[in-house]
Amino acid sequence: MNLSEKSILITGGTGSFGKKLTEVLLTSHQPKRLVIFSRDELKQFEMQQVFGEAQYPNIRYFIGDVRDRERLYRAFDGIDVVIHAAALKQVPAAEYNPLEAIRTNVLGAANVIDAAIDRGVERVIALSTDKAANPINLYGATKLCSDKLFVAGNCYAGKHHTRFGVVRYGNVVGSRGSVIPFFLKMRQTGRLPITDARMTRFWITLDQGVDFVLQALRRTVGGEVFVPKIPSMRVIDLARAVAPWCKLDHVGIRPGEKLHEVMITDDDARCTLEFDDYFAIIPRHLDLAGYQAKHGGQPCPEGFRYGSDNNTQWLSVDDLKRIAGIDTEQSEARAA
């Protein structure tokens, strides 16, 4: 897919992922038109200071909410590709405001699907989360529902040619809500709160996330849930990387939080193909053997589960320092 010939729209385009994707698209792909769709005019104004129309005449800023079907229909006019990144993502906020999370994450997804089909959008890639696999909190449950809607959208499209794919990955280094800025702030006190010393998480950078989404855009035939092969890290190792001199306060796992992340459950694994650097969960409307014959991949073994605790790739303390941009010399000097 030649993106220089396409008109692309990013929902939630002023978020961490949206801004990095915008940077990559404008500098490396030069799309015919790039529309930033979001509901916060202040964030759009701030983003315009970096990606202004004077320097990038192909960019447009469109205020709107995925809850608003009519606004989506207007925004999707002439759009070829949609990257759906808009969501309410804070776990505690979703628990306290469940209907708001449902309106954005579930009903908003349905609106995106309807508008994409009726406006003749070619491809839609929706961003998901590890929390959608065996969800234990409302945010994860809404994203699982959203994933199911996007997968089913390929059948719902009928005679239309719109195709929907989903990308699922874990924690993003540098995104809003990342634990690193919190640890950097708290290390000034000499103490870091740790939920559980056994806790593990998947780890991916913004650049890797954007690259994987663009790969999924090219790969999808409609309905796959793409999962990248990424390393795991131990939260206690991250604390050691950020502030090895700090004392650790073990505060316990918070409500709605898992000890380990899972991106492919053992049930999903039965319809999952493994590739060199990613997995693809194949939907029921696509024949697994036929998909494999055409696109490659190997079926996952019986009982397979892709979790942050049984991963084959691990980040060391030094790896975490490098990825997070932590001053190693300063940390070692302070620790001494």
Which sequence positions are flagged as catalytic? 131
| Long-range contacts of 94-97, Cβ-Cβ distance < 8 Å, separation of 24 or more | 94/137, 94/138, 94/139, 94/142, 95/137, 95/138, 95/139, 95/255, 95/256
Helix or strand (DSSP H, E) at 9: strand 7-11
Coil, strand or helix: which one is 23?
Answer: helix
What is the rounded CA–CA span in Å between residue 305 and residue 308? 10
One-letter amino acid of 272: T
List, in sequence order, every residue forming a beta bridge with 37; answer none if it has no partner.
11, 62
Widest distance between CA atoms in the chain: 67
What is the rounded CA–CA span in Å between residue 151 and residue 138? 20
Q: How distant is the alpha carbon of residue 242 from its chain centre?
A: 24
Q: Which of 75, 94, 18, 123 is nearest to 256 (CA)?
A: 94
What is the rounded CA–CA span in Å between residue 2 and residue 38? 25
Q: At 123, phi and psi to the nearest 5?
A: -135, 140
Q: At 34, phi and psi to the nearest 5?
A: -130, 120
Give the sign of the dihedral formed by CA 45, CA 48, CA 49, CA 50. positive
